Structure 1
Amino acid sequence: MQRSELNELMMFATIARERSFTRASRLLGISPSALSHAMRALETRLDVRLLARTTRSVAPTEAGAALLASVAPALAQIEDGLGALSSWRASASGTVRLTTFAYAAQMVLEPRLPAFLMANPGVRVEVEIENRMSDIVADGFDAGIRHVESVARDMIAVRVGPDLRTVVVGTPEYFSRHPPPQTPAELERHVCINYRGAADRPPLSWEFERDGREIKVRVSGPLVVNDVPLALAAVRAGAGLGYILEHDVADDLASGRLVQALDEWCAPYPGYHLYHSSRRQTPPALRALIEALRWRGNGNGNGQ
């Protein structure tokens, strides 16, 4: 078999697996037009149609599915063999494209990414900060960092942060005017600062749990923001109650600047996870980054 034929078979397998020329081209690092040309050449040489194309989708034909079933195990062995070579390298190299949002970048990447880059000079990391949830395969990312409940089930997820806890806080002056709520339902009688994760979505619900009972509350108030520091500034000024990560208000609570309410209703939940596709070999650079970011603490924020 010539090298060009092997390349074309690997291209075909990637297209059939991803059901998209665009996604396959991003994974393979070639243009969609070059990929389409290679597939036409393969089909012409084999004298059989392998892919059924429409304006919106692509899928293997019956002949294509039979070919894929035949060659996929061998191609997987080749990819595994190439991936195993990484253990012989002195250090990881390559580019890792990563998507996350601002708070996860602050919590996970700021403390550990600089040291990783200095220890791995052959690795280049591109980080895109965005509020929206990206499809890492379709958008050409190698991995993302999000809350684990946001990660699709077909992804591989690795814990990279401690448990988190969101708490309800207000100033002493606010609570002198408004008695603290005793249950989440009583928040309807309070002025609350709302947070919206994305412009096309409603403000986030405030979520609570006690004795296995989960409650989501839609609150109201004079301010809706998509910026945590701005929301916290309004809370600290006494403009209303906030639903803020405990880590961000630890000093305020310790000093008495802010007071917590509904403590028994605010349960911890799993922290941030790095996730990546399970459909292909993990590149050495991404594997090294995962090991550098992997959470090794006891889950309550003490250590890493």
Structure 2
Amino acid sequence: MKQNFTVRQGALDGVEVFLSVAQHRSFRRAAAELGVTPSAISQTVRVLEERIGAVLFIRTTRSVGLTEAGERFLSHAKPAFDELVAASEVARGFGQKPTGLLRLSVPRAVVPILLEPLIASFCEAYPEVEVEIVASKELIDLAAEGFDAGIRLGQFVDADMVAVPLTPPLRLIVVGSPTYLAGRCPPQNTNDLRQHACLRWRKSSGALALWSFDDNGRSIEIAVSGPLIANDFPTMLGAAVRGMGLAQLPEPLAAEGLRKGELMQVLEPFAPTIPGVFLYYPSRRQMMSKLRAFIDHVKRRQAADRDQLPLTR
């Protein structure tokens, strides 16, 4: 049976003082090294001995020596303390220099569009950071699952998260393939969707997402029907390209299909604008240097992209 175990408060108090006295064989030199008074050193050692239940030093007016208990304690305490110091240095390195493993939870759809060019340039700029991308539609607990940050559409980011925009606001557009629209009357208004096969998206909560529209500044949501239900946007995109029906998708996801002529946009005047894609994480106070470096890299890329935009009059 597993026993309950707790570390006593102050269990390591006095160990550094003990090691300094043992090394110098002097309370005074230990005090000088640690920047305290000899009386403070003496009091700390006395408290440590009381807590352990054994005398650790033999004190005379001329010298300080170790008892047998002190020798045993030194043989175990010094390597353990050195390990603690080394562990602190390693942890401090992770806190001060971008290094280690950066784990990101992302939707599969944003990987080729947004993350691939961004990650490539980040890894080149920070070779000591490894990036792990876990593609998932689930809104997971970042801390519990060991992730540094997540990436999601803005409407899915909890209010208690720190959010950094990766894109400007996006439009949700309705698209269909030329094959599907051939011989059919394209919808002219949202009511016409009743006559069309609409590809639906099931949210991580299990509910079917409604299609959202902007009707002259008025937000409306419509329940649609069709032959396919998917749990991610790339699956819906592929089904739309193959002519299975209409799909409502974030505009950047459909951009390549529109450019190649694999898709056509319908109901363009009704396309709503939604918050863009955000990087989110739990707390600024807990941010590691590797995540700070990634956020700074994102901001530099965004600034560079803005500088490259052509000027308009």
TM-score normalised to structure 2 length: 0.62
Cα deviation, 1:106-137, whole Å, max 9, x if unaligned, reads 33321111221121122122222111101112
Cα deviation, 1:150-174, whole Å, max 9, x if unaligned, reads 1121211111123322211223454
Residues 293 and 214 (structure 1), Cα distance of their counterparts in 2 relative to 1, 3 Å cut:
same
Aligned partner of 1:247 in structure 2 is 252
> What does residue range 101-180 of structure 1 map to in structure 2 within 5 Å?
101-180=107-186
Residue 222 (1) aligns with residue 227 (2): yes
Residues 235 and 97 (structure 1), Cα distance of their counterparts in 2 relative to 1, 3 Å cut:
closer
Select between 126-135 and 236-245 the one with higher mean Cα deviation.
Answer: 236-245
- Code of the residue aligned with 2:207 in structure 1: it is P
- Code of the residue aligned with 1:105 in structure 2: it is V
Residue 235 (1) aligns with residue 237 (2): no
Residue 281 (1) aligns with residue 289 (2): no
SS of the equivalent of 2:192 reads helix
Structure 2 CA distance for aligned equivalents of residues 258 and 270 of structure 1? 24
- Code of the residue aligned with 2:176 in structure 1: it is G
Computing the radius of gyration from Cα coordinates, the structure with the larger value is: 2
Aligned partner of 2:100 in structure 1 is 94
Structure 1 CA distance for aligned equivalents of residues 223 and 268 of structure 2? 18
Residues 104 and 171 (structure 1), Cα distance of their counterparts in 2 relative to 1, 3 Å cut:
closer
SS of the equivalent of 1:42 reads coil
Residues 213 and 195 (structure 1), Cα distance of their counterparts in 2 relative to 1, 3 Å cut:
same
Contact 2:170 2:274 in 1 (8 A): yes
Residues 127 and 43 (structure 1), Cα distance of their counterparts in 2 relative to 1, 3 Å cut:
same
SS of the equivalent of 1:247 reads helix
Residues 219 and 112 (structure 1), Cα distance of their counterparts in 2 relative to 1, 3 Å cut:
same
Structure 2 CA distance for aligned equivalents of residues 283 and 148 of structure 1? 23
Residues 236 and 144 (structure 1), Cα distance of their counterparts in 2 relative to 1, 3 Å cut:
closer
Q: How many residues align?
A: 228
Cα deviation, 1:83-105, whole Å, max 9, x if unaligned, reads xx88x96x522332221111123
Residues 282 and 187 (structure 1), Cα distance of their counterparts in 2 relative to 1, 3 Å cut:
same
Structure 1 CA distance for aligned equivalents of residues 11 and 193 of structure 2? 68
Residues 239 and 127 (structure 1), Cα distance of their counterparts in 2 relative to 1, 3 Å cut:
closer
Contact 2:161 2:282 in 1 (8 A): yes
Aligned partner of 2:277 in structure 1 is 272
Contact 2:149 2:279 in 1 (8 A): yes
Residues 177 and 165 (structure 1), Cα distance of their counterparts in 2 relative to 1, 3 Å cut:
same
Contact 1:163 1:299 in 2 (8 A): no
**What are structure 1's unaligned runs of at least 5 residues?**
1-32, 46-81
Aligned partner of 1:20 in structure 2 is none
Cα deviation, 1:163-220, whole Å, max 9, x if unaligned, reads 322211223454343322222233122111223344x613322111233311112211
Structure 1 CA distance for aligned equivalents of residues 185 and 138 of structure 2? 36
Aligned partner of 1:191 in structure 2 is 197
Structure 2 CA distance for aligned equivalents of residues 127 and 173 of structure 1? 35
SS of the equivalent of 1:194 reads strand
Structure 2 CA distance for aligned equivalents of residues 245 and 282 of structure 1? 30
Structure 2 CA distance for aligned equivalents of residues 299 and 252 of structure 1? 23
- Root-mean-square deviation (CA, aligned residues, Å) is 3.5
- Displacement of 1:257: 4.2
Residues 236 and 299 (structure 1), Cα distance of their counterparts in 2 relative to 1, 3 Å cut:
same
Q: Equivalent of 1:201, from 195, 198, 206?
A: 206
Aligned partner of 1:290 in structure 2 is 295
